[in-house]
Structure 1
Amino acid sequence: MLWVKAFHILFITSWFAGLFYLPRIFVNLAMENDGPSKERLLLMARKLYRFMTVLAVPALVLGLWLWLGYGIGKGPGNGWMHAKLACVILLVGYHHACGSLLKKFERAANQRSHVWFRWFNEVPVILLLIVLILVVVKPF
């Protein structure tokens, strides 16, 4: 079980690095007017999004393995796990939203400002904080 947990943490950490960095690229894309610079940022964003997706899959699979295979978070007194799973669903939705925003940038159809993307970039930080508190403290 400890190997599964270690790799789960590794893939979660790697996935989050992408969730933190991709919206920062979006901030720069929203401010950029130079064609070659914009293309370079789009290339970076595309590669990062693909890699993030590859990292998210084993993170989620290993998390399911811990939950269903080892029973972590099952039974009475484990309401924290339900809250954590809700946050995970929100993170998967955030990941998907990043993909949708990337497609808008590719079509030159983005209507949002760099300020909006700066706020959008804070969502995974807040969700990570909530998940960490739920997993470590297990408040309910």
Structure 2
Amino acid sequence: MTFDIIRGLHILAVIAWMAGMLFLPRLYAYDAEQADKPEPLRSDMRALLREWQRRLLKIIVNPAMIAAWVFGVWMIVLHVQNQGWGFLAQPWMVTKLLGVVALSGWHGFLAGEFKRIQAGTSTKSGRFWRMTNEIPFLIAIVIVLSVTTEWTF
């Protein structure tokens, strides 16, 4: 029962984390596209977009990532207590863990870019953000299919 509750909370945290990481690059794209707008509109819109970026990152994306990691590690600990360490070497679990590291790396990239955008030093275009917007979803596909199929060699 405890494991099922932790797994449910882990899934909810991942959903929130993914939602934020799919929306944040879109806000970055809108911000980057303000450069060719007339000044009064540009300043007002950029201020609003940057506040939305800050709130999304600080209130949703960061806490959701932390919760996903905490519940994920907790599930691993419970699994190890009951069945040992062997499952961590299974190909599907290695793939999942590599996917989680990739998602965390993308999260770090987005957080770093947030600081550059706030400082006005970002060089990324709206096109860049639109092209990379689906990266978390592609990683999630690999993770979810690995976990649901528990594939092996």
Q: What is the count of residue pairs matched by the alignment?
A: 140
1:94 corresponds in structure 2 to: 106
2:27 corresponds in structure 1 to: 25
Q: What amino acid maps onto 1:40 in structure 2?
A: L
1:59 corresponds in structure 2 to: 68
1:68: Cα distance to partner?
A: 2.2
Please report the TM-score for the alignment, with normalisation by the length of structure 2: 0.86
Cα distance in 2 for residues equivalent to 1:2 and 1:112: 42
Pick one of 33, 39, 48 that aligns with 1:40. 48
Structure 1 residues 73 and 81: alpha-carbon distance in aligned structure 2, compared to 1, 3 A threshold: farther
Structure 1 residues 73 and 14: alpha-carbon distance in aligned structure 2, compared to 1, 3 A threshold: farther
Sequence identity percentage: 24
CA contact (8 A) 1:73 1:81 kept: no
1:115 corresponds in structure 2 to: 127
Q: What amino acid maps onto 1:79 in structure 2?
A: P
Pick one of 134, 137, 141 that aligns with 1:125. 137
Structure 1 residues 73 and 131: alpha-carbon distance in aligned structure 2, compared to 1, 3 A threshold: farther
Structure in which a larger fraction of residues adopt helix: 2
Cα distance in 2 for residues equivalent to 1:74 and 1:27: 43
1:106: Cα distance to partner?
A: 0.6
1:105 corresponds in structure 2 to: 117
Give RMSD over aligned pairs.
1.6
Instruction: Structure 1: state its 5+ residue gaps.
Output: none
1:85: Cα distance to partner?
A: 0.4
Q: What amino acid maps onto 2:63 in structure 1?
A: V
Instruction: Structure 2: state its 5+ residue gaps.
Output: 36-41
Segment drifting more, 12-21 vs 75-84: 75-84
Larger C-alpha radius of gyration, 1 or 2? 2
Segment drifting more, 32-41 vs 66-75: 66-75
1:67: Cα distance to partner?
A: 1.4
2:86 is aligned with 1:75: yes
Structure 1 residues 73 and 47: alpha-carbon distance in aligned structure 2, compared to 1, 3 A threshold: farther
Q: What amino acid maps onto 2:75 in structure 1?
A: L
Cα distance in 2 for residues equivalent to 1:73 and 1:88: 21
1:16 corresponds in structure 2 to: 18
SS at structure 2 position matched to 1:110:
coil
